[in-house]
Amino acid sequence: MNIYHILLLFYPIVLLIITFFGARVSRGKNAPDYLNIEQTKAIQAVACVAIILHHLTQHVTGFGASYKGPVTLLNYLGYLFTAIFFFVSGYGLYISFLEKPDYLKTFPARRFPSVLIPFWIINTLGVLLCALGYGIRYNLSDALSDIFGLTLVNSNGWFIVEIAVLYFLFYATFNLIKNKDVALSVMCVFVIALIIYSSLRGHDAQGDKSHWFKGEWWYNSTITFSFGMVYARFKKAIERFCEDRYRIMMTVFSILTVIVVFFVSAYVVLRFGYYHDHMYSLGRRDEIITLIVQSVSCLVFVMFVLLLNMRITIGNRVLKYLSGISVELFLIHGYFVNRIFSDLHMKDFWIFAIVLISSIACTAAISPLIKKITAGVIRLLCREKKYNDTLESEAARKKHERNVRLFKILAAAIILIVFSLTLIMTFARTIFARSEYEAEMNKLRNAAIGDEVRFGHIEEDWTIPGQERIKWIVIEREGDEVRLLSKEGIAGSYYHQKHEKVSWHNCDLRQMLNSDSSLSSFSKYEYERVIQKNGDMVSLLNPGEAEELFKTDEERKIDITKVAEAQGTNTNKITKMHQWDMKGYGSSWWWLKGESGVNEITAPIVNVEGEVVMSEKYVNKPGGAVRPVIWVDCAE
C-alpha cells in the first residue's frame, strides 16, 4: 500500500467528521429528535455522499479488480447506503399515513412529483449533455425514452423508478385495504415479490443504458423499505425495548456490523456473487446466498444507524445544506463519474476531489430551479385555491394565478427547447447520412478481401464527440455482395440470458443483433443495402469460418471499444502469453455462432489467446465481446 492509497482515506474520514461535527449526545434515554424529519434528511445526506464515494471507488478500482488500499472496501458497501434511502422512504410513508389526516387524498399529487420532476429534469440535462457534448445521435422516441426514464441515460435513476413503483403499490394497497395491518402485510408481500421478480430478470445485456429491474442493485437493499414500514408501525414498542436494553443492543449490533457488514458481506460477494460461474452450474445457488447475506447486512446496518441516532443527534450547516439537495446530488453525480471525468489521467485522490466538487457545485446551481418547478407542479395538482372575498385574498389569488402562468410558460419553454433540439439533431443526421452513404458505397465497390471499410455508426467512445463509424473488414465477396466482419468487439453481451440449452436460432444474442435498436446503427440508406441471409440481417462467424479466415491465433485476438468495456465486456489486461514481460497487452474473448438446429448449454467462442473453443463458456456467461457480420449489396 503506497501513500496515495492512504490519502484516499481522507474522504471517508472527512465524511465522518462532517457527520458528527456539532452532534449532541443524549445520555441514558432516547434523543428527543430521534428519527424526526430533520434527522432522517441528515442521515440521507450522509448516505448520499457515501454512495458517491462508493461509485468513485468502483471507478478507480475497476469494481474491485485493482487494490487501492482500505478504501477499496467501499467498492462492496454501496448497497448499505442505498438501504438507508429505502428505510427512510418506507418509514416516512407509513408515519405520514398514521399521523396525517387524509394523507392518501393528496398522495399522488405530492409524492410522485417530488421524485419524478427532479428525475425528468436531470434526465433532460443528461440527454442534452450526451447529444451536444458527446455527439450521440438521438431520434425523438429515444430522446423521450431517456428523458422520462423508460431507458436510463443515467444509471443511478434506477432508484427513482423503483421508489416510484413502491409509492404506487403503497397508494393502491392502502386505498383498497382499510385494515392497516392487513394492508401493511400485503405491502410487505409486494416488496418480496418485487425482489424476486427483479432477481429473475437477471442482469442487463441490452447496450450501454440501464433497463428496468435488471441487476442486483434493483433488489439487494429493497428489503429495508418493508423494514421501514414495520418499524413505523411498531415504533413505540421497538424504542422502549431498545431504550431498556440499549447497551446490550448497541454492543451486539456494533459487533454484527463489523463482522457481517464489513467482512462477511464483502467475502460473499467475492466468493459467490451475482455473476459467479458457480451460479451457472448450480442453478441460482450463489445468487441466492449473496442476496440473503446482503439483505441481512442491510437490516443489521440500518438497525446500527438507528441505535446511533437514538443517542446521537446529528446536525450542522453542511449537513443541513446537503440534506436539501441530496436527491438532485444523487442523480447528478453519475454524469461526472461515468462520463465527464471518466477518463481523467491523474492521481485517484484528485479524481475524487474533482468529481465531488463538480457534482456538488452543479447540483447547487440547478437545485433551486428544480425545487421551484416541483413546488409549482405540486401546487397546481393540489389546486389549493380557497380564498375569501377580502382584498388580501384577492391579491393572493392573483399572485397564485401569475405563478401558475409563469410555471406553464416555463414548462412549455423547456418542452419546446427539448423538442426543437431533438428535431435539429435528427434532421442534421438525415442531411449528412446521404453523402456519407455514397462515399461508403464507393469504397465498398472497390474494396478487396482484407480491406478495412466504414459502414454505420455506433457509440464507441463517450469521450469523443459524436458516434463513431463502425470499422469492418471485408472477408468475402460474391459478385456485387460483400461480407463484412467488425474489426473490434463493439458490444458485450450474453449469448443467451437464461442458463438453458439453446441453439443459435433461438438465442437472445441473435434477437438482439437483429432488433430495431441494433439495426438503428444504420441510416435508412445503409439499411436498404444490408442483405438478409438465412433469416439474419446481422449474424456472427461460426467456428469453421473463424478457423479459416484467420491464419493464426494471434490474428483472432481483438480489441474492444471503450463503450463495450464499460458494458462489462471481459478484458484480459495481461494474457498468459505476455505475463513474463508485463507490458499489459489486452485481449477479449468473443462469441461465435453455434449450430442452428442444435441446442447446447455452451456456445463456441474465440478465447483471449485467439483459440477457437467449443464448450468453455455457458450461454449465459456475461462479458463476451460481439463481432457482428453483415452482407451488403454494392450494386450501382
Q: What is the DSSP string of 58-81?
A: HHHHTTTTS--SGGGGGGG-HHHH
The residue among 173, 226, 219, 221 whose CA lies nearest residue 196 is 219
pLDDT at 582 over 90: no
Cell reading at 223: 428489503
The pTM of the full predicted model, rounded to 2 decimals, is 0.65
pLDDT at 587 over 70: no
pLDDT mean across residues, the chain: 84
Taking the domains of the chain in order of start, what are their residue ranges?
3-384, 447-633
Read off the pLDDT of residues 425-461 as tens digits, 9 standing for 90 and up: 545 555 566 777 888 888 999 899 999 999 988 877 6
Higher local confidence (pLDDT), 341 or 333: 333
Read off the pLDDT of residues 344-366 as tens digits, 9 standing for 90 and up: 778 889 999 999 999 999 999 99
Task: Give residue 151's pLDDT.
Answer: 86
Q: Where are the alpha helices (DSSP H) in 257-390?
A: 265-271, 278-281, 285-311, 317-335, 348-382
Task: Give residue 575's pLDDT.
Answer: 36
State mean pLDDT over 392-402: 66
> What Cα–Cα distance (Å) separates residue 379 from each residue in 120, 122, 163, 373?
18, 21, 22, 10
pLDDT band at 421 (very low <50, low <70, confident <90, very high): low
550 beta partners = none
Task: Give residue 208's pLDDT.
Answer: 59
Task: Give residue 224's pLDDT.
Answer: 97
DSSP state of 152: B
Task: Give residue 383's pLDDT.
Answer: 66
Cell reading at 569: 465486456
The residue among 481, 491, 493, 485 whose CA lies nearest residue 532 is 481
pLDDT band at 577 (very low <50, low <70, confident <90, very high): very low
**598, 507 in Cβ contact below 8 A?**
no
The residues, any chain, with a CB within 8 Å of residue 165's CB and separated by 6 or more, are: 194
pLDDT at 542 over 90: yes
Cell reading at 482: 460483400
Task: Give residue 82's pLDDT.
Answer: 95
The residue among 543, 558, 537, 549 whose CA lies nearest residue 492 is 558
Q: How far is CA 567 from the centre of its chain?
A: 11
Q: Could you tell me the sign of the dihedral formed by the alpha carbons of 539, 542, 547, 553, in that order?
A: positive
Print the SS3 string covering 551-593. CCHHHHCCCECHHHHHCCCCCECCCCCCCCCCCCCCECCEECC
Cell reading at 72: 477499496
Stretch among 36-45, 52-61, 250-259, 262-271 having the lowest mean pLDDT: 262-271
**310, 31 in Cβ contact below 8 A?**
yes
Task: Give residue 307's pLDDT.
Answer: 95
